[in-house]
Copies of this chain bind each other. A is one copy, B any other.
């Protein structure tokens, strides 16, 4: 019995990259064949169909994001400082010329009622992210405070992911985050 000869992880990353950049509907399997160098048969044998490939690509991508997030949330003195750094890095991402929002957020908005399974899959991953913030905020907050703050952080992240498309938005975004998330103890500007 012959084993897979292509690196599944590498294929998932190429596919995720295409789906992220172009969106689910605008990414043709043809594009995937080109980006991965694989032939139709191989892809369809390994992933079933386009939805299956998308689901695995998104899952793989999100898993990595969650690992990175967990690591970031513990590597600073306080959770607040960590969250500040995360938000600032999102703003900086949005200043790059090839800015493309966030794979999960884009997918959440693009998928329609015809793909309920994928929609639920995306929602579940976004909820996982929020519960990670919640878990860490619980260390220094009551349950209800932590929940409200976690939701507020998610709201601001979503906001940045959309607002980021406006060019020249860096300063406006920073001011808005300072105003909306005062409990993050932003260093004063002098």
Contacts and interface: CB of A to CB of B under 8 A. Distances in A.
A107 to B, nearest CB: 9
Contacts of A22: 112, 114
Interface string A123-154: 10011000000000000000010011101101
Contact of A179 (B106, B149, B158): B149
Interface string A94-127: 0000101100011011101110000100010011
When all copies of this chain in the complex are counted, the total is 2
B180 A156 contact: yes
Nearest to A178: B148
Contacts of A30: none
A109 B173 contact: no
Majority SS of interface residues in chain A?
helix
A33 interface: no
Interface of A: 21-23, 25-26, 98, 100-101, 105-106, 108-110, 112-114, 119, 123, 126-127, 144, 147-149, 151-152, 154-163, 165-167, 172-173, 175-181
30 contacts: A21-B112, A21-B113, A22-B112, A23-B23, A23-B110, A25-B25, A26-B110, A98-B113, A100-B112, A101-B109, A106-B110, A109-B110, A109-B161, A109-B162, A110-B110, A119-B165, A127-B166, A144-B175, A148-B175, A151-B172, A152-B179, A154-B159, A154-B163, A155-B160, A155-B180, A156-B180, A157-B159, A159-B159, A161-B162, A180-B180
